[in-house]
Chains A and B, each alone.
Chain A
């Protein structure tokens, strides 16, 4: 059966070059970088090289990079590590309603610990309400955490402007760049963000490895203690194959930025056009998006049913419908954007990668209309 993978915002294929680069670090160079022998020393060099590649991807210095187990750990370390390092006099935190649960859940946990939380709204097109951000910041604001790009819609926030606003008001600024890193250029040298989370498996690296960028001078209390690793910022023997893998993936991503806009975005636009031309009552959610993401709502049909019929054809996508998530409410991102329920339940996210082909996109365009027609046949809401 054909396999068309359009769920790259969930995870990506590990690039063959990445797998190859990791191979020697399982059974050949398995030493501990902390050991006092040259066998471990070889490994330390590989870690340094991985760190250099990640730093280059982010326009950062190698010493600013802390390796973690992935995006969720990076977000937890950034937010909780920052608050632990402050004296506790500032009690206000700001984030957005459309953050990934790895940030939102941490904030809601902190609300129970007595912090005052502002969750900023977004406009109907998914863009952050900048006025609301301006108004939310007070001298009591300790930390602001805002994503670079949204995982569900791909909407990219204007981080230059946002960073300036936040830094002018003296709060620590964390950015969840898990979806942005490797897809659009990031240059920490030209944007004074304090902390930035990335995850390897979102850009063709292995799972179980990520990084937190920590700007020099940013105070951080480690959340995992028990060793001096990562310059005392995250204890634990290094995940050497992972670090080599994320390094290779970062190197490849840097080479592919032009491909993202010249090729991936073109295919994404082709997909959207194909769907809009062939299916009725469709709308695209979000504006100013990552090159690879398309979030489309099919009115009057339910997302999980669409996914299951796509799956039978070997097409993998995801949905913001309530049923697909196992919760009872549709995507918090689409609700924050005010997408009507009629559309939110029928939303499908297609996320492409550099490996997506034109043939695959055409295959999806060809099969989408009969699927939607078939489900609308069943739907009591369609006027006939």
Chain B
């Protein structure tokens, strides 16, 4: 049983500002059914540019519902500049704290708010927060930027902390070394690495590529391997190199190298890009 505060239980039992706004100024959506929690946040501004009305819909556990409800109460009456300054930590504090493993619920609130503000400023272009930078956790689609911000806003020190706050590393666990690298970099140098402008134009195609590779894994490759009691997991994508890890009966299988070349690589080349090369990592 989770040790939820009275405030969390109150906002869970009696969530404030549930629903939709007709003709909203800002709409933000984060999460998905697959992730296990999702939030849709909408607001309407008054003539002075302050948030006059805000509503939400949440799919998720008690702390996800409570975090969403708390956020709406917090930002009502704020200007967007003020609302922008609200951190996930403040959402958690408003609720008297959240269990460590549930901190990602407060982060989700913050992300939905950012997405809604972005929607307003871009003139309604997108309700989803644009993914910035490299995706670190492919299981939950968490980017380097999001991880860095969670680390800095909350003073996170360990990979477990990062998983609790962002979910990154909580699926297959393949990205945990990279999360450690980010932590090392931030605490080693005292400030995060600045992304170079040159890396930006490639960004979108990379995300598309990752998505395509994942789809090919799920649709074409894994069902084939599973027939023989084996499995393969996508560990990382580095340029044209696709790093994978063999599981089940594939692990330690003597013909695994052939499986990699003739099945995994062949399918990826067929469905994604002929340049892709598959490598096994343990």
Chain B residues closer than 8 Å to A329, beta-carbon distance: 36, 139, 170-171
User: In this assembly, does B45 line the interface, its C-beta being within 8 Å of a C-beta of chain A?
Assistant: no
Cα distance A330–B13 when bound, in Å?
A: 24
Q: A345-B33, A381-B38 are in contact. Are A304 and B61 (CB under 8 A)?
A: yes
- Cβ B59 vs Cβ A380 within 8 A: yes
- Cβ A380 vs Cβ B57 within 8 A: yes
User: In this assembly, does A352 line the interface, its C-beta being within 8 Å of a C-beta of chain B?
Assistant: no
Cα distance A377–B229 when bound, in Å?
A: 42
Which residue of A is nearest B105, CB measured? Answer: A323
Which residue of B is nearest A136, CB measured? Answer: B229
- Cβ A378 vs Cβ B163 within 8 A: no
- Cβ A302 vs Cβ B37 within 8 A: yes
Cα distance A380–B102 when bound, in Å?
A: 20
Q: A132-B229, A136-B249, A328-B170 are in contact. Are A341 and B34 (CB under 8 A)?
A: yes
- Cβ B229 vs Cβ A118 within 8 A: yes
Chain A residues closer than 8 Å to B29, beta-carbon distance: 380
CB contact between B229 and one of A135, A305, A328 (< 8 Å): that residue? A135
Cα distance A2–B13 when bound, in Å?
A: 19
CB contact between B59 and one of A117, A135, A301, A324 (< 8 Å): that residue? A301
- Cβ A378 vs Cβ B58 within 8 A: yes
Cα distance A119–B64 when bound, in Å?
A: 34
CB contact between A322 and one of B15, B18, B36, B163 (< 8 Å): that residue? B36
Chain A residues closer than 8 Å to B249, beta-carbon distance: 116-118, 136
User: In this assembly, does B121 line the interface, its C-beta being within 8 Å of a C-beta of chain A?
Assistant: no
Chain A residues closer than 8 Å to B64, beta-carbon distance: 302, 323
A295-316 vs B: 1/0 string, CB under 8 Å? 0000011101100100010000
- Across chains A and B, the number of contacting residue pairs, with CB separation under 8 Å, is 91
- Cβ A328 vs Cβ B171 within 8 A: yes
- Cβ B18 vs Cβ A111 within 8 A: no
Which parts of A107-122 form the interface with B (CB within 8 Å)?
A: 111, 116-121
Cα distance A305–B170 when bound, in Å?
A: 21
- Cβ A324 vs Cβ B33 within 8 A: no
Which residue of A is nearest B104, CB measured? Answer: A328
User: In this assembly, does A197 line the interface, its C-beta being within 8 Å of a C-beta of chain B?
Assistant: no
B147-179 vs A: 1/0 string, CB under 8 Å? 000000000000000010001001100000000
Cα distance A123–B65 when bound, in Å?
A: 34
Cα distance A43–B40 when bound, in Å?
A: 65
A340-373 vs B: 1/0 string, CB under 8 Å? 0110010000000000000000000000000000
User: In this assembly, does B140 line the interface, its C-beta being within 8 Å of a C-beta of chain A?
Assistant: yes
Chain A residues closer than 8 Å to B43, beta-carbon distance: none
User: In this assembly, does B248 line the interface, its C-beta being within 8 Å of a C-beta of chain A?
Assistant: yes
Cα distance A216–B15 when bound, in Å?
A: 61
Cα distance A300–B34 when bound, in Å?
A: 11
Q: A323-B36, A329-B170 are in contact. Are A378 and B57 (CB under 8 A)?
A: yes
Q: A118-B248, A136-B249, A328-B140 are in contact. Are A381 and B33 (CB under 8 A)?
A: yes
Chain B residues closer than 8 Å to A302, beta-carbon distance: 36-37, 59-61, 64
CB contact between A305 and one of B12, B18, B102 (< 8 Å): that residue? B12
Q: Give the one of A301, A377, A379 with max B CB within 10 A.
A: A379
Q: A121-B229, A328-B170 are in contact. Are A111 and B251 (CB under 8 A)?
A: yes
User: In this assembly, does B226 line the interface, its C-beta being within 8 Å of a C-beta of chain A?
Assistant: yes
Chain A residues closer than 8 Å to B62, beta-carbon distance: 304-305, 308
User: In this assembly, does A326 line the interface, its C-beta being within 8 Å of a C-beta of chain B?
Assistant: yes
User: In this assembly, does A293 line the interface, its C-beta being within 8 Å of a C-beta of chain B?
Assistant: no
Q: Give the one of B12, B36, B58 with max A CB within 10 A.
A: B36
B251-276 vs A: 1/0 string, CB under 8 Å? 11100000000000000000000000
Chain B residues closer than 8 Å to A136, beta-carbon distance: 229, 249
Which residue of A is nearest B1, CB measured? Answer: A311
Which parts of A245-302 form the interface with B (CB within 8 Å)?
A: 300-302
Chain B residues closer than 8 Å to A312, beta-carbon distance: 13
- Cβ A378 vs Cβ B65 within 8 A: yes
Which parts of B210-236 form the interface with A (CB within 8 Å)?
A: 226-229
User: In this assembly, does A199 line the interface, its C-beta being within 8 Å of a C-beta of chain B?
Assistant: no
A-B contact pairs, 22 of them (CB 8 A): A116-B253, A118-B229, A118-B248, A119-B229, A120-B229, A121-B229, A132-B227, A135-B229, A300-B33, A300-B59, A302-B60, A302-B61, A305-B60, A308-B12, A323-B36, A323-B61, A323-B64, A328-B36, A328-B163, A378-B59, A380-B40, A380-B57
Q: Which 6 pairs between the two chains have the least Cβ-Cβ distance?
A: A328-B170, A323-B61, A380-B57, A304-B61, A380-B40, A322-B36
List 18 additional contacts besides A321-B61, A379-B57; criterion CB under 8 Å.
Answer: A116-B251, A118-B248, A118-B249, A119-B229, A302-B37, A302-B59, A304-B61, A305-B12, A323-B60, A327-B170, A328-B36, A328-B167, A329-B139, A377-B18, A379-B59, A380-B38, A380-B39, A380-B57
